[in-house]
A and B are shown apart, each in its own frame.
Chain A
Amino acid sequence: MQKKSLSYICLLLTGIILAASCKKGLLDTYPKDKLSGATFWETREDAVNAVNAIYSFLPGNSELNWDMLSDIATTNSAAATTANIERGQTNANMDIFQDLWNDGYKAIRAANYLLENVDQVQERDPSLTDELRDRLKGEARFLRAYFYTRLVMLFGDVPLVTATLDVEEAATLTRTPKEEIWDFVDRELAEIAPHLPNSYTGDNIGRITKGAALALQARAMLYAGRWKRAADAAKAVMDLQVYDLYPQFEQLFTYGAENNQEVILDRQYAKDIASTEFFYNYGPRGMNGDVGICPTRTLVDAFETVNGRSIWDDPDYNPLNPYAGRDPRLGYTVFIPAFSDAVPGDVLYNGRAYDPRPGSGTADEVEVDYRRTKTGYGIRKYINIEDLNDPRNCGTNFILIRYADVLLMYAEAKTELNELDATVYDALNKVRQRSDVNLPPVTAPQTQGQMREIVRHERMVELALEGLRLFDLRRWKAADEVMQGAIPGMTYIRHGESEVDTLLYNGVVRFFDPQRDYLFPIPQQEVLMNSHLTQNPNY
């Protein structure tokens, strides 16, 4: 019996060993939920999808955070990194700089990766036409140029990378002088513009157009101080006859106006699909928002009176009813706070009065604490009623370049060229006289110096809280004095009183070192990893 069972066991053991032995492919595992680079770049779809992914790097509505580092707004949370930058406590170890650097080069890498492979896709899949291939390349090259423009404005000279790199190559890069990068951007945009369509239809709307390439060229050349190139590029956009101002400034940043004729480049969003938390992050506390950004009184005071004059010069201006009779864009840009018991402010979308006055007891009451406005003002652009009940699911596209900007760029470049012809006044006045703005025109003749001030002022109010002010201050070297000290908030009369009080927010006391702060530091880690990368002055 025992012998018999023994032989059974032997058989069984041998059986197990044979059956289970050496599971085939035990070590040949491969990812099942990811695509592999080895099998990609085969079809037209692959090429299109690879371009789509580059778009995801386009900065979106957090772009308006740059304005916190300018005179027109401040950071809501005094503990935030941007608040420390406002205080002049900037240092190269701050994560924000590494993130900016990385994000820029990630987008550039994705573009380079496509550019290196798209030709071979065409060999494998003839349905990728020359036209489409050139368009895709154009989109990728545009996006690459967009990020270089941004990197130069943030960091100054940066390595110009036009191919995918391995670690060794990247570790020995040097900083390319920014003039060379401007040359590159200029050349690239000029080259791709002819291959890009004027416009798209259907689910291609939102892609890079010829107008976008020319408009970015205008912006980059303006930033570079190459006035002639800038003016020509802006003129080329105007000559396309594709774009025009949207008649309602008030509606420009709403769902209803998405993809309108003024939009040249935007970061596309969609509720439910590719949504943001814009309303939650930036909306007023009275509508349960986090008040992420606080516009300053510097911005508010910059809006003219309806007479087209500064509030300091206009005898009609009434400091006891300060928001009446003003450039309508003021009320479309920020929520107007209650000034006194007699002069109420805006009514919020939920019917509540916007009364941030100290002592008002409302949710919007100014507090030094987090999640309350510090200046009394709140951003209104992009704060849309559709998002009130679902504030973390917002889908308004965030406009990155619009036609008004192009007009003002044209005016600025021509002014710097001192070519103050009628086209300059036309461009400027077009912006000032949009249907629902309708300010008195600026009339000739103005000196170059006067015109420069007028155009710069117009950019400040027209493009406020769209993330452009910091770069304007940088290129104008205009931050030295405006970025110092405590931050001006609203004027108001306390409930039941009659004296005018002025808010001065000193949770952040600004300090700006002109010898240092016009550029961000190169991230410390990058400098340590690559000894060829020099640090910006005084960091």
Chain B
Amino acid sequence: MKKTSSLPLIAGRGRFFKVLLCMKWCFILVLATCLQAAAKGYSQRNVRLTLDLNDVTLSKALSVIGKKSDLRFLYSNDLVPVNKLVAVRASDKPLEDILNDLLADMHLQYRILENDVVVIAPASQNIRVIRVSGLVTDSSGTPLVGVSIKVKGTDRGTVTGGDGRYSLEAPEDASLVFSYVGFQTMEVPVNGRQQIDIRLPENTSGLNEVVVVGYGTQKKISLTTAVTTIDADQVAARHAPNLQSSLQGMAPGLTVWDQGGEPGASSTSFNIRGVTTLGSTSPLFIIDGVEQAYYDINPDDIASVSVLKDAASTAIYGSRAANGVILITTKRAKKGDIRVRYNAWLDLQNLVAEPKHMDTESYLRLQNLAYENRGSDPIYTEEDIQHYVSGDDRLRYPLPNDWYNQVIRKNAPWHNHSIQVSGGGEKLTTLLSARYMDQQGIYPNRNMQRYQLRLNNNFKVSEKINLNADIKLRSQDRYTTNKVGSGIYHYMIHASQLTVPRYPDGTYGVSKQGRNPLAYTDPAIAGYTKSSSDNAVINLQGSWNILKGLKFNTQYAFEVEKYDDLKQWPTYEIHDYWDPEVILSNRAINEMENERTRSLQQTWNNTLTYDLLLADKHDISLLAGYSEISFDTDGLTAGGRDFYNNDLLDLGQGDPLNRTLNNVYEDWGLRSYFGRMRYGYRNKYLLEFNMRYDGSSRFPAGSRYTFFPSFSAAWLISEEAFWSLLKNTVDLFKIRGSYGENGNQNIGLYTYFNNLNFGNYYSFNNVPATGVLQTVFASQDLTWETTTQTNIGLDASFLNGKLGLTFDWYKKLTKGILLELPIPGAVGLDPVAANAGRVQNIGWELQLTHRNRINDFRYALTFNISDVKNEVLDLAGTGPYYSLEKNRYVITEGQEINALWGYQTDGLLTQEDIDKGYPTFSADAQPGDIKYLDRNGDGKITASDQTVLGSSIPHWTYGLNIDLGWRNFDCTMLWQGVGRQDMMIWGAFIENGSWEGFTLAMGKDYWTPENTDARFPRPQKSANKNTEPSDWWVLDAAYLRLKNFQLGYTVPKKVLQRVGINGLRFYVGGTNLLTFSGLKKWGMDAETPAGRAGDFYQQVKTYSAGLNLDF
């Protein structure tokens, strides 16, 4: 090796050399530790010491001798005069002589044991030493290797060998201390026994559990990365419409917005550790090693869920991992008798939140005032008001807004049955799982049925070869009435006031705006969509244990998904109830559309792993892998109109001139090489390196491949000798650190092609003309979004795992964020995503667990909380970019992504303001209108007075899982919430009667000369000035809710055995049963999406009852 001792030179060579140097030092440090540890066990015989001790206590003298000779003295303070002052003088004197001289005077004797333990006892007693040997296993009987056994009072002892056996010399009245990482430490008195076999109980903190990580598994205790596991049973306990919802509140750093469970549709959005991209923030879901459809997975099939959060744990998934990775494995059979389990539940769904409408008289008077304030005559006479209020003629004087009673179903049922059969023998084990689910919507004529089957087979071909063959089938049917305009919920809130929902003869009423939300739930008016989707996954895996520790694994999976969507819009006529001649609403020509797509995703993964344990302490593990993924989809959409009748579902029968036909093809591929190196020393020092080299078809040749590395390390401080005093209180203390990179390839397909769209854009003289047009800017230099993440973590476990703590701090920086930034209009093309910005997320996560048992009462608490500070650091000098109606969200440098944007307000305008000429938004501003701040002082209220008003990102998201058990009763609760979040609302709730929308009961608090300190401004018909985006309408959206609750009773075995049943549990419970939220008084659910009531499906609360049966 070349001499490189000249530090300035190295420093001058730049960072790379510094890193090398740093690595060298690390290596030396590790080596030194190894060497020191290896230096034990030399013989004390023939040791000669030189000592000069005067007037020291006996214990001090022994301690000095011990240090100089590397002996450990074992004695009882009661029997040995430890405080007696002694003097020892020796010059190159044999150890035995020194001890003899020292002890003889005090009538003490000693004996040196094989582990350099010196036992001291009164001369009057016999020192009885025996050889103790035995076997140490875990609770399942598996031998444990490397368990430390020490003679209590010394730090000397032995470890179990490869077969879990040990043997050591010990005084027969001594105690032995068995300790092992991840297991409870046990102290066992020898009591003269020569054979002591120990079954070590596992640490209840679950540190010993095996965690699924990318392309493998690791023990939780030896993780160097930020991975959270979620209890699969708790996932199953949540009756959620999809997997995403059931993960809400379960892991720190995993934020889920659950926006209601429309049957068969997913209305959630979620992210791990903040928003790092402006595209989809959904993490990568890997089920049994393969990316596949996840939302519909049968919760009863889930065996484990791991949430991979830092770059070190996710880098092995490279270009798909920037949003984090969620790994799911499904249950597999254990060999043994056939076991049958049946789970069934019934949920009744109801709306969580229902806004209260203003009472009829207040509403009518508000309307009159609103008209008068506009300069019009009042619209309702006193006589009208009397009719409306008395309700004597509801057909002519209907209630102002009764849709919540008319449209929404109460107690909409939702039931689920799943059955699992598992078992098998030595060579073959099988698990069969089947599920049927039927969910009815809270709107009429919306429902979904799901049929699922899973067959997981394990073939043990030989001692060395194992094969898994899994089949998953899922079929889902969904039925819904078609969305008319902006959808049912939108029209319940907007444009439907004072409408008779349905007349006695069945005729629908039609609002002045031509709407009737109730009619939109009728397929004979709105038409319907029947969707069916079928999904099949075949997942084959083979593993070959080539040599001890060397294993080859190959996996091939394909997923076929077929989707068929049939939409029909019938002809209909709604006649005026009072004058049937008049058609108020109609569709004269019926229409139909059929969309069919088929997609195929193939995955081929290969890994070669090598695990090696050197000298019982160097734990080395290597992994190399290769993977290919290809995805193809093709779709066909055909449409027609003017069919013979509304029932004939044959596109061929429609008007031949009026057919539409379209094909869509999409494909992408990903080719990857990946690897992992892991080194552990005595489970104390752990190092890991992960990498992936990904090539994606989404980028032009030449810039397809990118390398994603990561490093991580952990130190189990609690395994150090100096921790031994603390060990009884803090049984685990680990610090972790990681740094790595991953990417996001989620950009559109074919963006680097100068794509020309092809279509009949125009007709000349009634003949269609083909047009060819480029509409989207082509980008040649698009590349990955790259996210670098630093993570520092701490895991601790107290009191034998009764209390657990995990804390992580991270800094995540996304560079080259793919922004679909607007480009100057003068380019004349629509923008394509560009690698434009940098976004940073700094956050922390804390998880606390506590479990205990007091007599018959057992409980477990898991609390998690996290927060993230998001900042757009750089938009390449561009921006701000606005989105949402009237630019309510902004993306601009120095602010959070999608910060709320609008005017600041300063109360409501007063006559004094008007007199002083304070600038107003609208020329006709009056006292009682909102006073927008003229921030730039230019005497006008313009767009340049707008500013950031708040954060649309949830902060302080938390969850608390409570598990309680008493005898045969169990109770689980999940509390979940957000500590700080701002929400800007618009639409009917803030218009307060300016238009024809829903008027809240709280809207009665509006400005009048007598009520100047009002929540709502002065009512004015058809005025928009008070609904501009402003902080007046930013609400505090923090909440806490009882997301899930279950109370169960397990029938005692004694009772069941008579009828041949193994287990039976009944439970009742529900979701969203209790909510604390500032939005409640607005009649909105805590998790309502921001904005105008659109077509979102409202959040429901459910009451459930179910049973688990085990044959």
Contacts and interface: CB of A to CB of B under 8 A. Distances in A.
A161 to B, nearest CB: 5
A49 to B, nearest CB: 4
B828 A36 contact: no
B697 A528 contact: no
Contacts of B824: 167, 170-171, 173, 526, 529-530
Interface stretch (A52-60, A179-187, A227-235, A440-448): A52-60
Given A17-B606, A167-B827, A33 B663 contact: yes
Contact of A106 (B584, B589, B697, B829): B829
Contacts of A38: 753-754
Nearest to B892: A528
A390 interface: yes
A529 B878 contact: yes
A5 B462 contact: yes
A159 interface: yes
Interface residues of B, number: 100
A91 B940 CA distance: 11
Interface string A21-61: 01100111111111111101000001001101101100000
Interface in B740-798: 749-750, 753-758, 760-775, 777-778
Contacts of A78: 1022
B869 interface: no
Nearest to B602: A23
A268 B766 CA distance: 8
B128 interface: no
Contact of B826 (A79, A93, A159, A204): A159
B309 to A, nearest CB: 29
A89 B822 contact: no
Interface stretch (A236-244, A325-333, A364-372, A492-500): A364-372
Given A36-B756, A272-B657, A50 B701 contact: no
A37 B764 contact: no
A30 B753 contact: yes
B753 A31 contact: yes
Contacts, number: 283
A55 B761 contact: yes
A270 interface: yes
B766 A395 contact: yes
A79 B657 CA distance: 37
B923 interface: yes
Contacts of A93: 882, 886-887, 943
A202 interface: yes
B582 A363 contact: yes
B513 interface: yes
Contact of B760 (A9, A36, A274, A288): A274
B887 A105 contact: no
B554 A13 contact: yes
A37 B630 contact: no
A46 to B, nearest CB: 7
B513 A37 contact: no
Given A30-B753, A164-B828, A526-B824, A6 B777 contact: no
A354 interface: no
B208 interface: no
B436 to A, nearest CB: 36
Contact of A101 (B375, B761, B825): B825
A437 to B, nearest CB: 28
A530 B826 CA distance: 11
Nearest to B753: A36
A105 to B, nearest CB: 4
B374 interface: yes
Given A46-B772, A390-B589, A539-B942, A206 B825 contact: no
Contact of B556 (A5, A20, A46, A206): A20
A18 interface: no
Given A16-B554, A101-B825, A91 B942 contact: yes
A401 to B, nearest CB: 17
A102 interface: yes
B827 A105 contact: yes
Contacts of B762: 52-53, 55-56, 268, 274
Contact of A371 (B512, B630, B823, B1021): B512
Contact of A34 (B750, B761, B882, B887): B750
B695 interface: yes
A368 B773 contact: no
B630 A23 contact: yes
A5 B461 contact: yes
A109 B588 contact: no
A389 interface: yes
B562 interface: no
Nearest to B834: A167
A538 B668 CA distance: 51
A485 to B, nearest CB: 10
Interface stretch (A216-224, A408-416, A505-513): A505-513
Which of B585, B764, B942: most chain A Cβ within 10 A?
A: B764
Contacts of A46: 772
A113 B1022 CA distance: 45
B774 A37 contact: yes
Given A110-B828, A205-B765, A89 B921 contact: yes
Interface in B888-930: 921-924
Given A49-B771, A92-B943, A528-B879, A9 B465 contact: yes
Given A34-B758, A91-B943, A524-B943, A165 B827 contact: yes
B604 A20 contact: yes
Interface string A72-106: 00000011000110011101110000100110111
A16 B541 CA distance: 12
B81 interface: no
A372 B586 CA distance: 16
A361 B577 CA distance: 13
A313 interface: no
B544 A13 contact: yes
A105 B758 contact: no
A6 B462 contact: yes
A56 B604 CA distance: 46
Contact of A204 (B753, B765, B766, B777): B765
A108 interface: yes
B696 A27 contact: yes
A508 B1022 contact: yes
A138 interface: no
Contacts of B996: 369-370
B1025 interface: yes
Interface in B913-960: 921-924, 940, 942-943
B995 interface: yes
Which of B768, B769, B822: most chain A Cβ within 10 A?
A: B769
A170 B823 contact: yes
Nearest to A1: B462
B922 A89 contact: yes
Contacts of A376: none
Contacts of B921: 89
Contacts of A28: 697, 701
A259 interface: yes
A50 B758 CA distance: 10
Interface of B: 374-376, 461-465, 495, 512-514, 542, 544, 552, 554, 556, 576, 579, 582-586, 588-589, 604, 606, 628, 630, 655, 657-658, 663-665, 667-671, 695-697, 701, 704, 749-750, 753-758, 760-775, 777-778, 822-829, 878-882, 886-887, 921-924, 940, 942-943, 995-996, 1021-1022, 1024-1025
Given A20-B628, A102-B825, A272-B655, 5 more contacts: A31-B750, A88-B923, A89-B1024, A166-B827, A389-B588
19 contacts: A2-B463, A5-B461, A16-B554, A26-B628, A31-B750, A36-B756, A37-B778, A79-B1024, A87-B922, A173-B826, A203-B769, A206-B765, A272-B655, A272-B657, A273-B766, A274-B763, A368-B1022, A391-B588, A506-B374
CB-CB nearest 10 A-B residue pairs = A109-B828, A37-B754, A53-B771, A56-B761, A53-B773, A170-B824, A26-B669, A203-B767, A78-B1022, A205-B765
